[in-house]
Structure 1
Amino acid sequence: MILTVAAVVFREQFKEGVGSYSNLVGAGGVGVLMGIVTVGWLEERWSKERIIAGAFVVGGLGLLGAALYLRGWSILVASFVVGLAFAWKKVPVDTIVQGSLPDGYRGRVFSVYDVVYNVARIIAAALVIPLVPAIGTHGTVALVSLLFIAWAPVLPRWIGGVADVRIVFSEGAREEEWPRAVRWGAAEESVDVIKAWLEERSGERRRCFRLALRDGSDLDVSRAESGGLWMIDRERDEPRTSP
């Protein structure tokens, strides 16, 4: 969306042609590269959710500055900042998605995830067409910047939850018995119980299982002894050992 707005600004306000678009893409690319280089340093100091929230704030403030003082150089700076924020958002989100999925489903989920992401970018760019004539270039950039800032606390809270999985017990069996399958959405996969134990975490007793999946990996799941959702604690791909 920002690249589309910027291209309109350079063409209409500054009377610059196609060459300006390469400058925009270049500035954004440098921002993305800088974000990729620095995101590892950020992850050593803050949680992924905080980095994502901070990226939205940084991107929003950069766009707000461009909206208030719309010049050629400010658009280039905004493109750089948006590229930087893009990497700071995308890398942690991809890591969270990858770490929350079992191996057997990761490829399929990422395929859908990439399609949805790319379609959303196309829709965002298309929205610029009616927005610029309706509220002007300054208004469009300001609106996007405010959406960035408003979204900052929403997405991290949305993705901040620990991945959950449904544990299927034998029909008619009591909850104390061992599980026979795990359910990921609509898909159900049979499992073998490798190990069962109770564990104390943050003052809460949790019931834990290590389950052998059909693809050869092991899955550690746990739930509060008092009830609630089963959570994925860890997935192991290494050879199994006896309990």
Structure 2
Amino acid sequence: MFFSMRKVLLVFLILAGFAAAVLGAWAVRRTAQGGSLRDERVISFIRSPKLHADWVLEAGTRCADAPFRMPTRGFIGYVWGDSFRPGHHHSGLDIFGGTAPGETPVYAAYSGYLTRLPEWRSTVIIRIPSDPLQPERQIWTYYTHLADPQGNSLIDAAFPPGTQDVFVEAGTLLGFQGNFSGTPGAPVGVHLHFSIVRDDGEGHFLDEREMENTLDPSPYFGMTLNAEGLGMGIPACLPSAP
């Protein structure tokens, strides 16, 4: 019995040590990528957006000849590939407007065909039949958190639940930034989550929650918008080639 207890304790200590090592490595990696600093910046911006006006990009901003326009006004606080916890990687961009829900407009970043599934309170997705960077493939742009804390939709009335494949031009008003988390009464910070989603090859979008089903938005916006490349920087248009 004594031997068995010692064996159990030894296994526990080994597993605990392994878990600590994994968490430690993740923390070091997140700090090295600027993750902790980005957390601080997001909190600071939400609390005092006027103090950080130089972090803000205007809606409609287009960097040089990049195909996409900024879909909303705000600070890009989190980027593609950010890691909020071990094993997780962020699948898109979080753009914080620094306002209350329902105040900061959200627009289509590129022309395409909009769908809103019947159960979607805060989300729309736009099908782009010909990827502007790789014309032979279809992609989708995904917009979410367009609802208030209780899940009351802030999507424009032109796109009610059940909307299917309606053409919208780049710059079309889609709705307003909100803070619905998916759970009524448990809001997140007011922002737009935007991602570029892969097609399954049969005309359907893949699960946006998995990073491997999404694309690095950097070349579409002409900015460094991935965690590895951005490090501790603040997203801005890249210098034009001479």
TM over 0.5: no
> Under a length normalisation based on structure 2, what TM-score does the superposition of the two structures give?
0.26
Bigger relative CO (Cα 8 Å, ≥ 6 apart): 2
- Structure with the largest fraction of helix: 1
